Structure formats: structure tokens, C-alpha cells
Chains A and B, each alone.
Chain A
């Protein structure tokens, strides 16, 4: 079964730590995204890559950095987490600008 896979499912960490989330898609898509879903369930784009090239970089704190090794992988690193980073981080992929498919998300709790 092909899909968008995210690890870990959950992560609890302390303020100031570094965390890294992984995302892999097996759909053969060329575009991948990271979205953040806050406590009010609002979804906001963070980054988008097309063929390993960054094409969308919304206004997010500099401690967030995406990492793309190939078209099928897009990781997200947070250098020094803060309490407001607690959220669900959703990875997604699409073929260019067509239908978007999401992973199950990584829930981050910062204590």
C-alpha cells in the first residue's frame, strides 16, 4: 500500500531541545509539504518542495528548517523548541499542483 509515512507519531520534549521529524512518500509525487495544525485545528503551510527545490517558505521562525534528500523524503528539524511549537505537524505530497495526500501527523508536546 502506498502512502505518506511520518515518524514519530508522538514526541514529548523539553524547551530548548532539538527535534527532527521524518516524512517519506511512496506515491511517486514530486512535491512535498509541511503543515502545522495548532490547538484550534487551524492548518497553516510551513514549507513546500518541488523536486527537492524549496518553493514555499512561509513566515516561520528560523529555528524550523526543512531537509530534502530526494523527491520522496522531506524532514523537518526544529533547532530549539519553544512551548508554542506544541502542535501536530502534517506532511503531505502531490503530483505538481494536483490532489494532495496527507500523512497521519506527528504530535509534538513541549514541556
Chain B
């Protein structure tokens, strides 16, 4: 089965609403990152967060290794937050590469 699973696959919000994106993994990990990608755009690193909680503006990333999950919280969403959010991990047995989830496609409507 898939080693990295993201949920939901897609999400539609009204501007101002909050969102919680999930990333679950099946093996132990060495590190994890959250990325943002606009359609046709490059991958922008949002967080490098192997464990614990990190904040950046309206974004919060929390990784709980024991529970094999990481979450990305977006507060007070804006239309410019629309795009795809990807989690990527260095998993046990394959630390020399990032393994990506399939992503969450977010659309924020005005």
C-alpha cells in the first residue's frame, strides 16, 4: 500500500475559513517537509518539520512521530492560498530520498 497518504484529496473553502490538511505515513521517518505548488508553478518549501510544531504566519505544521502523522493548519484562508499542498518524507529504509504524498488540492473562493 501507499507509504504516504494525504487527506483530503481536495478541499473547497470560503475565504476566511480554516483548513486542516493531514499526512499519514506507514513507517518511521527521518524528516518531513510540507510544500506548496500553484498550477504550473514550482514547489515552495513551507515547513521542514521532523517533529513538533512550527508556525509561519497563518500556517502551522505539527508532526507527531509516535502517531505517524503530520498536519498543516491554514487559518483565515485567502484566495491566494489556492493550490496543491504536498507532504514529503524521508522514510525508514529510504532516507536518501523524499517520498511524496499525492497532495491536497485546495480552492479558496471569494
Contacts and interface: CB of A to CB of B under 8 A. Distances in A.
Nearest to A47: B97
30 contacts: A31-B96, A33-B97, A33-B98, A40-B102, A41-B84, A42-B100, A42-B102, A45-B99, A48-B97, A50-B96, A55-B96, A56-B96, A56-B97, A90-B42, A97-B30, A98-B31, A98-B48, A99-B31, A99-B33, A99-B45, A99-B48, A100-B33, A100-B98, A101-B45, A102-B42, A102-B43, A102-B45, A103-B42, A104-B42, A105-B42
Contacts of B96: 31, 48, 50, 55-56, 97
A100 B84 contact: no
Interface residues of A, number: 23
Contact of A100 (B30, B42, B88): B88
Interface residues of B, number: 22
A38 to B, nearest CB: 11
A55 B98 CA distance: 13
A43 interface: yes
Given A43-B86, A48-B96, A98-B48, 13 more contacts: A33-B97, A33-B98, A42-B100, A42-B102, A45-B98, A55-B96, A56-B96, A97-B96, A99-B31, A100-B88, A100-B98, A101-B45, A102-B42
